[in-house]
Copies of this chain bind each other. A is one copy, B any other.
Amino acid sequence: MIGARVRGLREEKGISLSALARLAGVGKATLSGLENGTRNPTLETLYAVTAQLGVPLTAVLAEPAAAPTVHGAAVHATVLEVFTDADATYELYRMRVSPGTGQLSPAHQPGVTEHVTVFSGVLRAGPADAPSTAAAGGYLRWDSDVPHSYAAVGDEEVTASLLLRYPRR
């Protein structure tokens, strides 16, 4: 599954397995085995690869505790970073919302807030009974202790960053 993430990131960059192996200074056999999950890579190997992909190691490591990716009818989100401090835990996602049907998410714990900055497209999101709208460069924030919705306005896919803040209990 970490192999799938590496492969996904690589294909997103439009670069071949051979080229990435060359750039990262690892054997093609190594990278092939890593992507296919038939090897158990060392940190050194994994770091060489992720560094060339321009992402932190954490971007490809599955977190059993927190939901690494959130899938839904319209929303696809991948974790960029998880951060914990004395007061709260933060999860930073890269989010895509497909045009068409929206998506409804159930309520989180009280105190949880969501913060969205829109990269491209127009997003309508927030509490299910009172969503707001933001275009590229815009920002939305809401308390997510009630059911909330996400939807792309128009027929363009929305790209955004989503920050989830879980206060310490």
Contact = CB atoms under 8 A, between A and B. Distances in A.
Interface of A: 2, 40-44, 46-47, 50-51, 54-58, 61, 63-67, 79-83, 85-88, 90, 92, 94, 113, 115, 117, 119-120, 136-137, 139, 141, 159, 161, 163, 165
Copies in the complex: 2
Contacts of A120: 85-88
A52 to B, nearest CB: 9
Contact of A58 (B61, B113, B115): B61
A132 to B, nearest CB: 14
A56 B43 contact: no
Given A40-B42, A67-B51, A136-B87, A161 B163 contact: yes
A46 B43 contact: yes
